[in-house]
Amino acid sequence: MADVLVFAAHPDDAELAGGGLIAKCVKLGYSVGIIDLTRGELGTRGTALERAAESAAADEVLGIEIRENLRLPDGGLTETLEARKLVVDAIRRHRPTLVTAPCTEDLHPDHAVAGRIVAAAVYPAGFAKYDTGTPRCRPPALAHYMNHTTFPPSFILDISDVWETRLKAVKCYRSQLFNPDSLEPKTGISSPDFLERLSARFRHFGAEIGAKYGEPYLLHRPTPVVDPVAIFRRQDG
């Protein structure tokens, strides 16, 4: 069982784009699981083995107890019925209230396809006759996190109190980040100012809600509001 299930195309996407929500939910006492669709074996830097070790280190930082890999092909992620079924099965085994996934329109095709596979799995996960050998379960909410491509957020989560934990988790991916001694090809993430750019993005969304750091999410459909005063009540008194 996981209260929150985070789907990602590659190991490190969950931390880079949605690490604040993960750290925040763990801090609030919720159980959080991460399901990586691929092992990142096509990544420009590092190997699948290195990335698995880095993910394990990030799990420890974030307090993640569930982390699985669906071992779909990196760089060749496609919207197949088999891929959808694997995601349906993961949802049914962990029975989350909230599912997060990449944005379906992201610049990186693996991210966009991962987002679409998850979006197409949430609904049929509730079908009684869709057989995966696991009891049906339809999560009430799907929220897309932001990788490359920006979008007008449905909500911005205040992640100021977990920013340092989030950053520490990202820094576990040493094969991907700047290393002056590395002879591997350079990528956007490996540039010396990447962490500064990452910080600037979440400072920007923090500023949108009057917080130091904020993480943007796009909801899959309108969300019911039970108490319209409580949801907007100012936190600063």
Minimum CB distance to Zn ion smaller for 85 or for 108:
108
Distance, in Å, from the CA atom of 21 to the CA atom of 14, rounded to the nearest integer, reads: 10
Q: Which residue has the tokens 């996190």?
A: 145
Least distance to Zn ion, CB of residue 43, Å: 8
What pairing do the DSSP bridges indicate for beta strands 141-145 and 214-219? antiparallel
Least distance to Zn ion, CB of residue 63, Å: 22
Per CB under 5 A, the segment of 4-12, 28-36, 126-134, 167-175 that binds Zn ion is: 4-12
Which amino acid, one-letter code, is at 61?
A: V
Q: Are 124 and 132 in contact (CB under 8 A)?
A: no
Contact pick of 13, 15, 36, 59 for Zn ion (by CB under 5 A): 13
Per CB under 5 A, the segment of 9-17, 123-131, 132-140, 196-204 that binds Zn ion is: 9-17
Least distance to Zn ion, CB of residue 51, Å: 11
Per CB under 5 A, the segment of 2-10, 21-29, 84-92, 117-125 that binds Zn ion is: 2-10
Least distance to Zn ion, CB of residue 15, Å: 11
Query: Nearest-5° angle of CA 31, CA 145, CA 139?
Result: 50
Least distance to Zn ion, CB of residue 108, Å: 6
Contact pick of 10, 51, 92, 116 for Zn ion (by CB under 5 A): 10
Per CB under 5 A, the segment of 6-14, 23-31, 53-61, 82-90 that binds Zn ion is: 6-14
Size of the site for Zn ion (CB under 5 A): 3
Residue 15 touches Zn ion, criterion: CB under 5 A: no
Least distance to Zn ion, CB of residue 57, Å: 18
Binding site for Zn ion (CB under 5 A): 9-10, 13
